[in-house]
Amino acid sequence: MRKFLALFLSLSLLVLSACSMEPPAWAKPDRDGKDLEDLKIGLSVSTLNNPFFVSLKEGVLKEAEEKGIEVKVVDAQDDSAKQINDVEDLIQQGVDILLINPTDSAAISTAVQSANSIGIPVITLDRSADKGEVEALVASDNIKGGEMAAEYIVAQLGEEAFVAELEGVPGASATRERGTGFHNVADQKLNVVAKQAANFDRTEGLTVMENLIQANPDIKAVFAHNDEMALGAIEAINSSGRDIMVIGFDGNDDALKAIESGQLEATVAQQPDLIGQLAVQAGLDVVQGKKVEKNIPAPLKLVTIEE
C-alpha cells in the first residue's frame, strides 16, 4: 500500500513537473526592435454589430492612418471565448500594440496575460481588464454620465418626478456604472418607480417600455442606459399617446436625428471615435517609452435640442 502511494505520488509529481503556464520556449515567436512607421496595431473589438463600436473602430483607423500605421481589426461578436482566440491570432500576426475593447472585464484577463508574456503593451478601450498588466484604460466616465442624465431630469421636471429606468445587459459594466451614477442622484431627488432590463436592444426597449407604461401610468421620464433602448421606448410611448421624456446614452446617429426631430429629449453622448483616437495616442506613447495615465477619461457631453 505504501509502495503504491509512493508510486502514485511520484507519478503525479512527474506529471506536474511536465506542466507549465508558459508556452514552450520553442514556440515563442522572435520579436525585435522596429521603427515607428513599421508598427502594427492590433484592435480587438467586442462587436461590430453596434454603431458605437464601429465609430470606435473608425476613430482608431483614422488616427492610425494619419500616423501611417497599419491596423489589424478582429471582431469578437460578443463572445468572450472568441475574443481570447482573436487576441491570440493578433499576437500571432506580430502586432506591436494591442488595443482591446473587452466583451467582459474578467474574461479578457487571460488574453491580456498572454500579451504580457510576450511583452506586447495592452491598452483597453471602453471596458477594463481585471487581471494582467494594462498600460491604460480609455473610457467614458459612465458614472458621471448617469449623474448627468439624472440631473437633467431634475432640472427639467423638478424633484420627486416619477421616472423609469431601462437597464442594459445585467452585469455589464456599462449597466452597473450608468445605473450607479443615475441612482447617485435619482435616489435622493427623483422617484424611480420602475426599472427593467432591456439588454441594450431596441426591440426589447420597445416591449419593456410598453409593459412599464401599462404598469405605471404616472411615469414622466425614462432614462435608458443606451440610445437603442431609448429609441425603442419612444416607439412605445408614441403608440401609447402619452407624454414621457426620454433620455438616452451614447449619442449615436439615430439618437441625434431623433433629438433633431424632437422625439428624444436628450442623450448623454459618448465620443467613441475620440476613445479610439486617444487609445492610439496612448499606445504610441507607451511604445516610445513615454509615461501614460492609467485612466484616460474620454469626455461626455449632454446633447439636447438646443445643441
Binding site for another protein (CB under 8 A): 15, 18-24, 26-29, 48, 72-75, 77-82, 84-86, 88-90, 92-94, 104, 106-107, 109-110, 130-131, 169-171, 197
Q: How far is the CB of 172 from another protein (least distance, A)?
A: 9
3-class SS of residue 78: coil
Amino acid identity of 45?
Answer: V
Smaller CB separation from another protein, 197 or 266: 197
* Cβ-based neighbour number of residue 73 at 10 Å: 16
Smaller CB separation from another protein, 7 or 106: 106
Listed in sequence order, the residues at least 6 apart from 245 whose beta carbon sits closer than 8 Å to its beta carbon are 153, 156, 157, 220, 221, 222, 265
Q: How far is the CB of 27 from another protein (least distance, A)?
A: 4
Smaller CB separation from another protein, 107 or 287: 107
Q: How far is the CB of 47 from another protein (least distance, A)?
A: 9
Torsion of CA 225, 227, 229, 235, to 10 degrees: 140
Q: In what order do the strands lie in the sheet with 97-100?
A: 70-75, 40-45, 97-100, 122-125, 136-140, 295-298
Smaller CB separation from another protein, 29 or 158: 29
Smaller CB separation from another protein, 55 or 271: 55
Q: How far is the CB of 72 from another protein (least distance, A)?
A: 6
Q: How far is the CB of 26 from another protein (least distance, A)?
A: 6
- Extract the C-alpha cell encoding 57: 473602430
Amino acid identity of 66?
Answer: E
Smaller CB separation from another protein, 150 or 197: 197
Q: How far is the CB of 225 from another protein (least distance, A)?
A: 14
3-class SS of residue 106: coil
Q: How far is the CB of 131 from another protein (least distance, A)?
A: 7
What are 97's strand-pairing partners?
A: 41
One-character DSSP codes across 232-269:
HHHHHHHHHT---EEEEEE--HHHHHHHHTTSS-EEEE
Smaller CB separation from another protein, 95 or 153: 95
